Each structure stands twice: as structure tokens, then as C-alpha cells.
Amino acid sequence: MRYPDDTGYVWNYIASVRDRASAYLQDNAVPYMAFPKLTGKPSYPLQHLRAVELDCYDYSPAGREAIARFICDNNIKVIVFMSALPQTIGMRLLRRLGVRTVNTEDDGFDPLRRDPLVKRGLKFLVRRVLRLQQHDLHLANSRSQQAFLLDYARLPPDRVCLMTNSVDTAHFCPGDRSAARTLTGLDPDRFWIIAVSQARPEKRVDKLIRMMQRLLEARPGTCLGFVYVGDGPIAAEWKELAAELGVQDAVVFAGRQNDVLPYYRSANLMVHAAHTESFGLAIVEAMACGLPVVASAASGPCETIVDDHTGQLVPIQDMEAFEQAVLCYIDNVEMTKIHGENARAHVVASYNVMRHSKEFANHIAQFL
């Protein structure tokens, strides 16, 4: 893991899938979960993995020594990284110690990015001919991510596999909205629009706040609210923006939440305006909870949302169309209900965490 054990939300999901997968490996291996820091307050309770304090992304001299010592002392055969470029993790050391590496590709990417012909040729030579700068296996979390790794990164096809993300639909499921709003403290009488993400510029929560101002002006007789769940340095700027626009009474900043479920259950509609998104875990979690989703048509949402059935996809730069899509749900309660039910059924059928965990375990097991 890249972060301490008390860092929640999306990292909880990543930890939980690794934990579930390790349950299928215990007959053949002793699985560990390495955190840069153990705080004594883990946000996700491990069931099948042994937590250790080890920063596998630290390749300073001291970090390399700690990694090598742990590998030798515990006969480590495979390390599963998350979004780690091979040239940043000291691959020579790991190969010398006989360690195989698997990388889950969790980062967003620009699908329109292109290299000059010379650079493309160099990537082809280094990665497909010389077989350098690559893990033993790269696990793409979406079809578009897989295409990016093959076409832009020029990784060999035999080193890239599709393993779409998943959701625990037993946990993320519809629930009593009134009870959830009591728990979250959200106004029980508002139509709540939710956004869940890390606070990073590409998530474009600032555009959602500006949209909220226009929605309040367009529907003065409707009690509307917007709740943002997430955190990061830029969130402070978004709070200032809400105050400048005079919408602070209708906009709630819930901060980082280890369990987002009560907020999903409190909401009526999910919005996601990110202009780059490889998968969009929060989108699928929200759909599992029975929420329709309006999203910018980045690569990930285009795969997970069934347009006009589980939500609506909007051209990435067209915030006016985004606003109109949101208004459709505000004005049509029956459509909101039907699309929410469709969304739940779609996730149950297509994004099963048990399938994901077994698939993950099989990818790792081939190197044991």
C-alpha cells in the first residue's frame, strides 16, 4: 500500500480486494500487507493478511535495505504494487532477489495523449523487444486502461490483463434514506446531489459547485443540496468558492469518510465531472446503492454507466448539458427511481467482488 493504514475510502477498497484475494492463496503462501506506517488505528480491518510496516515504494538506501531484508527474511516471491512505474521501484534489486512483480493500474490517464514517432519507437524497442521497464503482469482496471497500456505505454500484450474493479454489493446497497440522513446530519427535506472523490483538480468539483449555483437559480421552489465527500489540499479552495458564490448553505463538505455508505444512502443522485477517469469506483458504489449517475464521458464512466438507463453521460467539456441532465432527475422523480433500480441491477450483474477476488488470486498464484 502507498499510504498508512488509517487512510480510508478508496484505499479501503484496494485493501479489501487484496485481503479477499489472499484468502484463496493461504494454502500456498503467507500473504502480507505492507504499509508505510502502522498507526494502530486501521481504517480497514484485515482478515487474511498480516499487516507489516514497510514502505515498498521507498528506494532510498535505507528503504532498499529494509525491503531486501524483509524479502530475504520472509522468502517473498511476489510483490503486488499499486500504480507503480517499474523505473520508480528499483526493479533490479527485486529481480536480483528473485521477486516477481504485479501492478494494479489504478491511476487515471489521458486517452488522447500521443507520443512523437521516435518516442513510440523507443518504447517499442525497450518494452516489447528488450522486455525492460515492465512488471511481470500489469492488471488494467478497465478496457480503456488496457488499451492505453498497450497502445501508449507499448507494453507487451502478454504482460497486460484486464481485471475490472468491483463492488461489495452486500455492503453497498440501498437503505433507509431517512435513517441515513439522521446519521449524516443532512437535511431530510432536500434533494441531495452527491459527489465522491479525492480532492484533485481533474475531479472538477469546482465546476459542480458553480453548477449548483445555477441549479438553485433555475429551481428556486425546489429544496436542493450538494454534498461533497472527499479531502485534499484543494478542498479548501472549493469551500471558499462556495462561500463566494453564496451557496454555502446548500453545499456540505463532509470530508474524508472511511465508510461512504450512509452518504450514498442519503443522496438522490450522484454526479461525477472528472475529465480523466480510468474506472471511477465511486460511480459504481453509488449505483450499487441505487443512485443514478450523471457523469462526464471520460473513459471509465463510459464503460460503467449505461447511458439513459443507469444514468446519463455528458460530453466532457459541456457543463451546460451536464446541468440539464441533472435537472432531468430533479424534475422527474419516477425516472430517478427507475434509473436507480437499473443501476443497482447493473452493478450486481457486472461488478461482482467475489469474481474479482478469485481472478486476482489466480493472477498472483501463477508466480508462486
Kindly report, residue by residue over 269-314, the tens digit of the pLDDT: 999 999 999 899 999 999 999 999 999 999 999 999 999 999 999 9
What is the predicted pLDDT for the residue at 90? 86
Contact 183, 258 (CB under 8 A): no
Q: Do domains 10-166+353-365 and 177-350 have the same CATH topology?
A: yes
Is the pLDDT assigned to residue 345 strictly greater than 90?
A: yes
Span 165-181, average pLDDT: 95
When pLDDT is cut at 50, 70 and 90, the band that residue 9 belongs to is low
Nearest to 9 by CA among 300, 275, 229: 229
**C-alpha–C-alpha distance, residues 339 and 130, integer Å:** 49
d(CA 324, CA 142): 28
pLDDT at 203: 96
Domain regions of the chain by residue span? 10-166+353-365, 177-350
With cut-offs at 50, 70 and 90, classify the pLDDT of residue 7: confident
Q: CATH number of the domain at 10-166+353-365, please?
A: 3.40.50.2000
From residue 29, give the alpha-carbon distance in Å to each of 24, 54, 70, 81, 348.
10, 19, 15, 17, 31
Residue 191: its H or E element: strand 191-196
pTM of the model: 0.83
For the domain made up of 177-350, the CATH class stated in words is: alpha beta
Residue 221 has a pLDDT of 92
Stretch 183-202: mean pLDDT: 96
Does 113 score more than 90 pLDDT?
Answer: no
The mean pLDDT value for 115-133 works out to: 94
Whole-number percent of the chain with pLDDT over 70: 100
- Determine the Cα–Cα distance for residues 14 and 323; give it in Å rounded to an integer: 32
Strands 160-162 and 191-196 turn out to be: unpaired
Distance CA 28, CA 22 (A): 10
User: Is residue 106 very low, low, confident or very high in pLDDT (cuts 50, 70, 90)?
Assistant: confident
Count the neighbouring beta carbons within 10 Å of the beta carbon of residue 321: 15
Of the candidates 339, 335, 163, 185, the one whose C-alpha atom is nearest the C-alpha of residue 253 is 185
**Residue 279 — φ and ψ, nearest 5°?**
-140, -65
Q: How does pLDDT run across 201-249, given as a tens digit for each residue?
A: 999 999 999 999 999 999 999 999 999 999 999 999 999 999 999 999 9
Quick one: pLDDT at residue 11? 81
Residue 167, pLDDT score: 92
> Could you identify the residue written with the cell 419516477?
334
3-class DSSP state of 225: strand
- Reported as a pLDDT band with limits 50, 70 and 90, residue 112 is confident
Query: What Cα–Cα distance (Å) separates residue 230 from each residue in 30, 263, 282?
Result: 34, 11, 11
